Amino acid sequence: MSAPNNSYDPVEVASLHPDAVARMRDDALAAIAGAADLDALKAVRVAHVGDRSPLALANREIGALPPAAKSDAGRRVGGARREVSEAVQARQAELEAERDARVLVEEAVDVTLPWDRGQRGARHPITTVAERMADIFVAMGFEVAEGPEVEAEWYNFDALNFLPDHPARSMQDTFFVAGADGAESGLVMRTHTSPVQVRALLDRELPVYVISPGKTFRTDELDATHSPVFHQVEGLVVDEGITLGHLRGAIDAFVLGMFGERLKTRFRPSYFPFTEPSAEVDMECFACRGASVGDPDRPCRTCSSEGWIEIGGCGVVNPKVLTAAGVDTGRYSGWAFGLGVERTLMFAHGVRDMHDMVEGDVRFTAAFGSEI
């Protein structure tokens, strides 16, 4: 670079000669026009617009001119640079448009090619349905209570008013844990989730609002509708002034939460040792809503054309159970219900055969994903 010219020497700078500037500009424009693609244009930009380009270098020489010549040279060089810069931008836009029109098309791929490089996992629908059933009650303020699966007979039977010689005790086909030398151990595989009721009442402060999903066991041979291992969701409320009406309200809320519509429910008197009065709960068939009843032309597989689906058992907690759990029956009353998870899954998702739910075939589980 020439030194600043402050002494007003009438210096001639060759590169600032009008012809030279015009030549530089013309070279640049020719190179820009000749750039065939974006990469070439990038090189042209470096050569003709960059810091080491002839016009940039010439620009630095302006300072060497006497003050009178500076403005003229500055105008000419600046104009040339602007012209070149605009030409680059224009060419850039042109080439990008060209690329968009051609290259991106050429780069097209078949996006329907599968990318199944990893395995797809899933949680078991029994797990997710049981969680969903419990969550409906958790949303109402219930807490989830749990208990062991190998349970003392006292919790599974005695405390629930299944007296040792009552037929109800043998009604449930129980797995007994063997004691030492063939003696009785006093332990069973729990036949229902109801022992959790007793545990909840013994462990928690009143009032108690709990829901307990879990595994249960009975000596049923595995077939299309039975399994020796199955799952229940049990609900328990003990509070002051609890009636069958509150139970019915909770069941209706469950049906709404699980099946999503205002389906009718009905109670039928029944018997369970740990509730008195007791009822079986039916829900209006969500598939046919009763339309299949008495209409052989419209059979309903979900409810066997009965119009109702049995979803569980329930009742007012037998005061004997409350007594065994140390609850003041003069002040408190409660309700309890038990719902079958497998049954719910069978209705809600059309599972045809219990075998599918217990065999662990990945093709079955995969259909349900991580949430239901």
The residue within the footprint of other proteins, chosen from 284, 333, 336, 346 (CB under 8 A), is: 333
**Which residue in the block uniquely carries the two structure tokens 């063997």?**
178
- Residue 31 burial class via C-beta count within 10 angstroms: exposed 0-12, middle 13-18, buried 19 and up: buried
Segment near other proteins (CB under 8 A), from 23-31, 97-105, 155-163, 346-354?
Answer: 155-163
127 binds other proteins (CB under 8 A): yes
Q: How far apart are CA 372 and CA 365, in angstroms?
A: 11
**End-to-end Cα, the chain, rounded Å:** 76
349 binds other proteins (CB under 8 A): no
User: Taking CB under 8 A as the criterion, which residues in 255-284 touch other proteins?
Assistant: 265-271, 273, 276-280
User: Taking CB under 8 A as the criterion, which residues in 171-190 touch other proteins?
Assistant: 171, 175-180, 183-187, 189
Structure token pair of residue 148: 């062991």
User: Taking CB under 8 A as the criterion, which residues in 71-90 touch other proteins?
Assistant: none
User: Taking CB under 8 A as the criterion, which residues in 198-257 touch other proteins?
Assistant: 202, 207, 209, 215, 219, 221, 228-229, 237, 241, 243-246, 248-253
By three-state DSSP, how is residue 22 classified?
A: helix
158 binds other proteins (CB under 8 A): yes
By rule CB under 8 A, what count of residues binds other proteins? Answer: 106
What's the CA angle centered on 311, arms 310 and 316, to 5 degrees? 105
The residue within the footprint of other proteins, chosen from 89, 323, 331, 349 (CB under 8 A), is: 323
Residue 197 C-beta: closest distance to other proteins, Å = 14
310 binds other proteins (CB under 8 A): no
Residues 6+ apart with CB under 8 A from 230: 215, 216, 217, 218, 340, 341, 342
What's the CA angle centered on 187, arms 226 and 220, to 5 degrees? 10
**Between 2 and 243, CB nearer to other proteins:** 243
Residue 315 C-beta: closest distance to other proteins, Å = 9
**Which residue in the block uniquely carries the two structure tokens 């931008």?**
89
| Per-residue DSSP letter, 239 | E
User: Taking CB under 8 A as the criterion, which residues in 353-372 touch other proteins?
Assistant: 357-363, 365-366, 369-370
Q: How far apart are CA 315 and CA 270, in angstroms?
A: 9
Residue 50 C-beta: closest distance to other proteins, Å = 27
Residue 300 C-beta: closest distance to other proteins, Å = 18
290 binds other proteins (CB under 8 A): no
Q: How far apart are CA 68 and CA 185, in angstroms?
A: 115
Q: Is 276 annotated as a binding residue?
A: yes
